[in-house]
Amino acid sequence: MKQSDPLELVEPGSLAPPGPLGRGVRFMLGAGCLWAVWQVIQNIGPVVASPITATLHLPLAMLMAMALWIINYVVNIGFSRSWGRRPASLSLVGYLALALVGLALNGDADGPILGVPLFAWLVYFYSHLGLSFVLAGLMATPGCEMRAIPALVGRMIHRPSAEHQCPGFIATIDDWERRRCSKGEMA
């Protein structure tokens, strides 16, 4: 799915569930995302007090860049809405506006007016993504991990949830694993 394309959800049962390797990769990625949440929480002081300066440190800058790069997928696929590139665009515009408000009010864009929302955004993003990965691994959610929370809700209310082909490298792992299993069953 290109980020500007409409959201392409498919009927429940259209996609095959991941195998053990795909599930393991999802668990590891979920653990990595939840570790990122822990790292952001551990750095709450610098992030809130001086977010621009804090992002000059490579690990935090990498977490922010990764979040901006894939937030469109997380929001669009996770919430079953095709908002295109708006999630990333609104995030960038919002943070620029907050920096300007901080500059106007305090004479410094690098402060809590920007830091508090940035902290909350990072915690939300990596928590949502991490929980989705872990649930996708536990439940063997077919396709994209961002459909794991809707799949869980669907199971709870007895309504199957639409699926989405994974837009990332995980689809390659799932396809490889399926081909490998198919060949093994034929032999």
Mean pLDDT of 152-177: 92
Share of the chain above pLDDT 90, in %: 72
Angle value at C-alpha 132, between 150 and 79, nearest 5 degrees: 40
Confidence of residue 168 (pLDDT cuts 50, 70, 90): confident
Structure tokens at 3: 């980020």
Calpha distance 68→87 (Å, rounded): 9
pLDDT digits (tens, 9 = 90+) for 98-141: 999 999 999 999 999 999 999 999 999 999 999 999 999 999 99
Provide the pLDDT for residue 52.
85
> What are the tens digits of pLDDT across the range 133-152?
999 999 999 999 999 999 99
Contact 1, 167 (CB under 8 A): yes
Q: What is the pTM of this model?
A: 0.88
SS (H, E, C) the chain: CCCCCCCCEECCCCCCCCCHHHHHHHHHHHHHHHHHHHHHHHCHHHHHHCHHHHCCCHHHHHHHHHHHHHHHHHHHHHCCCCCCCHHHHHHHHHHHHHHHHHHHHHCCCCCHHHHHHHHHHHHHHHHHHHHHHHHHHHHCCCCCHHHHHHHHHHHHHCCCCCEECCCCCHHHHHHHHHHHHHHHHHC
Query: Among 162, 165, 174, 138, which Cα is nearest to 73's?
Result: 165
Residue 3 has pLDDT above 70, yes or no: no
Q: Which residues pair with 164 in a beta bridge?
A: 9
